[in-house]
Structure 1
Amino acid sequence: MDTYTPHNTRQDYLDAVRAFALLLGIVFHACLSFLPVYIGWAVMDISTSTVVGVFALVSHSFRMALFFLLAGFFSHMSYHRKGGAVFLKSRLLRIALPFVLGWILLRPLLVFAWVMGAQSMRGDVSLWPALQEGASSMLAASQTLLTGTHLWFLYYLLLVTLSVLCVRALTVRFQPAYRLLSKSLDAALAWLCHSSLVVLALAVPTAGCMWLMGQWGLDTPDKSLVPHWPVYCIYGGCFTLGWLMHRQSDLIPAFSRLSWQKLLVALTAIVVTILTSPYERQPGHPHIVYIALAFKFSYSVMMWSLIALMIGLFRHYLDRPNKVIRYLADASYWLYLIHLPIVIWLQIAFAEVSWHWGIKWALVFGIAIGLSLVLYDLCVRSTFIGATLNGQRKNRSLFAVG
């Protein structure tokens, strides 16, 4: 038996944080065509800004890590509420099934969008060849399975979940050692979460993993089914931390406690990260190793500081039932799954329009979220798709009948 303090009541602010992390991902993808440096994205807009680069750097550092931490927290809750067998079945339905079906349905659309974006930048758009290439991508070799899609997060979520369940199944067989290990982990985590050094302590192993990555920031592991082990360790660590935090009801509040010190640490880390990031393009700099070390550590501190602060802000302001937040929390998984083709098509449509980048960026993510919400309410929420993604069918809200 687990020795944990159960607290299975719905915590509205954590649902809101999870929705925020996924919606932030949509805003993040919507900004990539407005970066001042071409990064290999589908299209590059004629209006760009360094402000967008700063937003991309900061938001990318913590949004998916925050999602994995909350996924671990809610997974532990679900595991002990439903039991191991039912939990595993639900994870396969809610993670593996959307991953497979999402790839089948979305990959051709994304490849089509990528081809159209490249044609747009050359000034030679041809719809039919782009459609043909999108359709033929279904026959791509397995080593390119994840390439060009955003569904890698489901693949890693499934890997991490199965890893945690396997470790638990192996250790629980040896009850005396398991109880001792559980008590030791609980005590260590309780001390850590209540400590003012929690952010710095978590940043050290994170920075170690980041040192093994191909770029200075967090890599996106969307090139192969072979796990990118540094990314796996970071997101797996976030998931495991969330899993263990659910065992004691006071850990999330302690970890996310708001303070001026935590805010100052976050702001300092953000400034250092922004100031050191340009040196990634200067590999010949005589002090490049030390600058890279400073960047990776400050990036890790920024990541954990923002995770803690975001949870704390939502706990302070949204720790109460709210129908709108509840609806967005239910819809957020679908929104994130479906958004990317819509975002890229909109970016292509606005790329040559001579408007300010801020206006176009807002239109891209605003229209993408709006269209995805309409599809969710009409075609998902009250159907078997909604039951798969949310655990149960729910009545329409935007287009309620009768």
Structure 2
Amino acid sequence: MDFVEMSIRVETGKARIKYNSKEKFMRKHYFDNGKAIASFLGIVYHSALVFTGTAWLINVDGQQTLPILQIYTDYINLFRMPLFLFIAGYFAAHSVRKYNLRDFTFNKLTRLGIPLISTLLTFNILEKLYTFKFIHGNYSLNEILGTLVPWGSNFQISHLWFLYYVIIFSFLIYFSSFLKIYHINSFIKRILKKYSDVILIACNIGILGIFGVLFVITGFFHELFSFLTIGANLPYFLIGVLTCQNWEYFKKQFFDLSRTRVVIISILLIISYILAGLISDIIPNSNTILNTFPRYFSLILVLGLLYKYMNKSNRFLKYISESSYSVYLIHQPVIVVVSYYYIKYINDSNPVLGFFTVFLLSTIVIYALDYFLIRNTRVGTFLFTGKRNIEQKSKVKDKISA
């Protein structure tokens, strides 16, 4: 990591810049590449769900499934969303330090809120339309519109739950940051040095348990406030926050892994994954708690691999990392539409060929939409990334400099 050290010394009415206090300036390419890989794996994951036999929005007949894909999708599901949440928490903590409340609110509502609403009112309507057509043979406009009313019982946020809850979690840490609870003192660091994994997993299970109990007591569920969704995902967001606030300590825990730690974490991942599968067959509804262990260990391994092998950039990596946000937004609706037409017009009873057909066609359509609709149009860029056009940004900078 490179640092810029800066201080200002005034002499004879002139300011002289000297490099004296540490300021990180290098971009963490492994985070960019991690988001890109996780977004791309979303295409693989949801394309595979069509053929695994697991109930999803759209599925082939039972005789045309490929159950072996279930192992692959289960593993992707272990680390994919925890990785997204970890990165989101890390940069949310960075934003807390960078912005005041007004700018923080503007940043989060623009970068997350606008793409959330835009996708919900466009691609997600398309997703619901084709889901209704597949299940019922037709669709009701009133039913589809009913899924868009936030206060209605039929409201469906689909895969966009991630953006919505990141907004909620971000404001939670903004206001709780005044309590300074994310900075770890030396005493706690000494304890964490010996028992970090045990403590973090225990906190993870504790948070999940608290929200699980609240769900059981209240019985309340709504897509905009789900106790189970919060309990299962908030811990990984908070771990990202803690890592940002205590980088020098958590760097060794999650990124710069020793060979011994890699071996131990790998063994624990395999054992916990097997045990979770065996116990969940005996104890109903235990998946969420049991998967806490393999999800945590798989997250550490992925972060370590990204840090070691993907802390770099080139034209290809830069392109897919810049597209990762829009790919995440549109991939599921596109896969639903492609799967619908595959099952209706192409289905040849070969699940292997079917999976690769849906996956390849969906990938082509997704990146084409990203390129032509989002990356290269002002409206698309703003609606689906929350970013202003590059030309508009340069004009603003020119005005400020003037």
Tell me which interval the TM-score lies in, with the shorter structure as reference length.
Answer: 0.7 to 0.9
Q: Which segment is superposed worse, 155-164 or 70-79?
A: 70-79
Percent identity over the alignment is 18
1:43 aligns with 2:42: no
- The code of the aligned residue for 2:251 comes to I
Q: Match for 2:238: what amino acid? A: T
Deviates more, 1:203-212 or 1:344-353: 203-212
Report the CA distance shift for 1:244/1:333 in structure 2 as closer, same or farther (over 3 A): same
Task: Tell me the equivalent position of 1:400.
Answer: none
1:139-184: CA deviations, max 9, x gaps? 6562346426211111111111111112124x2xxxxxx4xx565x
Superposed counterparts of 1:199-348, under 5 Å:
199-210=197-208, 224-250=222-248, 251-256=250-255, 257=257, 259-279=262-282, 292=286, 298-348=290-340
Structure 1's 359 and 227: CA in aligned 2 closer, same or farther, altered over 3 A?
A: same
Unaligned runs of 5+ in 1: 120-124, 172-177, 215-222, 284-291, 396-402
Q: Which has the larger radius of gyration?
A: 2
Q: Which runs of 4+ in 1 moved over 6 A?
A: none
CA separation in 1, counterparts of 2:69 and 2:185? 41
**Alpha carbons 2:182, 2:242 under 8 Å: kept:** no
C-alpha distance in 1 between matches for 2:156 and 2:382: 28
**Equivalent position of 1:54 in the other structure:** 71
Letter of the 2:69 counterpart: V
Pick aligned residue for 1:359 from 335, 349, 353: 353
- 1:311 shift after superposition: 0.9
Question: Residue 166 of structure 1 is aligned with which of 175, 187, 203?
Answer: 175
The equivalent residue for 1:371 is: 365
Residue 22 of structure 1 and its aligned partner are, at CA, apart by 2.6
Asked if 1 retains the 8 angstrom alpha-carbon contact of 2:127 and 2:334, the reply is no
Alignment correspondent of 1:151: 160
* Matched letter for residue 348 of structure 2: S
User: Which moved further from structure 2: 227-236 or 257-266?
Assistant: 227-236
The alignment's TM-score, normalised by the length of structure 1, stands at 0.76
The structure-2 alpha-carbon separation of the partners of 1:47 and 1:198, relative to structure 1 and needing over 3 Å to count, comes to: farther
Rate the CA distance shift 1:386–1:199 in 2: closer, same or farther, 3 A. farther
**Distance in structure 2 (CA, Å) of the matches to 1:246 and 1:19:** 20
**Closer, same or farther in 2 for the Cα pair 1:182/1:316, shift >3 Å?**
closer
1:145–1:224 Cα contact (<8 Å) kept:
no
Change (3 A) 1:252 1:26: farther
* Matched length: 353
Greater alpha carbon shift after TM alignment, 351-360 vs 23-32: 351-360
1:312 is paired with a residue of what secondary structure?
helix
Corresponding letter in the other structure for 2:197: V
Letter in 1 for 2:381: G
Unaligned runs of 5+ in 2: 1-21, 213-220, 392-402
User: Which amino acid letter does the alignment assign opposite residue 127 of structure 2?
Assistant: L
Structure 1 equivalent of residue 218 of structure 2: none
| RMSD between aligned residues | 3.1
CA contact (8 A) 1:73 1:246 kept: yes
Question: For the residues of structure 2 that align with 1:248 and 1:139, how far apart are their CA atoms?
Answer: 40
Give the Å deviation of 1:48.
1.3
The DSSP-based 3-state class of the residue aligned with 1:246 is helix
TM-score by length of structure 2 reads 0.76
Contact 1:99–1:154 (CA under 8 A) maintained in structure 2: yes
Q: Tell me how far 1:369 sits from its aligned partner.
A: 2.5
Q: Given the alignment of the two structures, is residue 89 of structure 1 paired with residue 106 of structure 2, yes or no?
A: yes
What amino acid is aligned across from residue 62 of structure 1 in structure 2? F
Q: How far is 1:343 from its partner? A: 0.5
